[in-house]
Amino acid sequence: MDEIKKTGDRIAKVIARAGLASRRGAEKMILDGRVTVNGMVISTPALNIISSDKIVVDKIPLPSAETTRLWKYNKPIGLVTSEKDEKGRKVVFDNLPSNLPRVMSVGRLDLNSEGLLLLTNDGELKRKLELPSTGWTRKYRVRINGLPTPEVLDKLKNGITVDGEKFRPMAINIDRQQGSNAWLTISIKEGKNREIRRAMNELGFKVSRLIRISYGPFRLEELKANEVEEIKLSVLKSQLGSLFNLQTDQKEPSTQIKQTIRRKKKSLPDARNPSKRISKRK
């Protein structure tokens, strides 16, 4: 376009708010030449637009931004947290209820990790909640093989470098020793790729189970494996109001009543319920 507009919002942000992609995904769409503004193909995401601009993605007009929504999902092991997997493995989005709109995950859980995964229809909210600067704590129940001592684990409390990558300090509690295994509660602020597994491996411990039990103020609680529960808009306003400008132009979806959406399909064979009751297992 002839000139970059100085008012309005960046186009990638607008596409993300419409739930079509994350901001990073929207930027890639633009660089791939899939986006037009007022009939002209744009080649840079460094463009601000206003409400009167007409945005088209893949020859389809961009829909209006919907009310911001957030769900809790109890991810079982055996699912990849991505839209598709190059190895042909089953992904989280293949396993969600069919009545959910298009959603994106807030962060990831690796194939062998389970527990709380937040889902949203708002790409800008996804981006905001993933930023380390947001300061939200991710808390995990972790089972390792070995006999850890507070002295050894203190190395993680001060931050550790693994393969040249610096991990921020972790808060760690030893919950109990169960034979040759120990259960820990670990809290982190950032959540880099396989961060806890790599950090524990650096100390000589192998993680045999990893369950995320909370992400910021949102907790897994008694949500069963493979279930989805929508967080009420009133709760989002109270928890995110000072952090994020929620999109609430439209009416609150009728599905936002207090309920749990259960899968019609059978759960995966290895799906387990990582609730607080794990403390009773032997």
List phi, psi (to 5°) of 195: -60, -50
Distance CA 223, CA 227 (A): 6
Alpha carbons 259 and 253: distance in angstroms, whole number: 13
H and E: helices and strands count for the chain = 6, 18
* Position 161, amino acid: T
DSSP string, 56-92: EETTEEPPPPPPP-EEEEEEPTT-BSSS--TT---BG
What are the start-end ranges of the H helices in 104-189? 123-130, 150-157
Spatial separation of the C-alpha atoms in residues 204 and 45, rounded to whole Å: 45
**Do residues 105 and 91 touch, judged by C-beta distance below 8 A?**
no
Residue type, 236: L
Exactly one of 53, 110, 163, 175 is catalytic; name it: 110
Retrieve residue 234's tokens.
């009133």
Polymer length of the chain: 282
Sequence letter at residue 164: G
110 catalytic residue (yes or no): yes
Q: Of 72, 75, 71, 84, give the one whose Cα is nearest residue 267.
A: 75
- Residue positions annotated with a catalytic role: 110
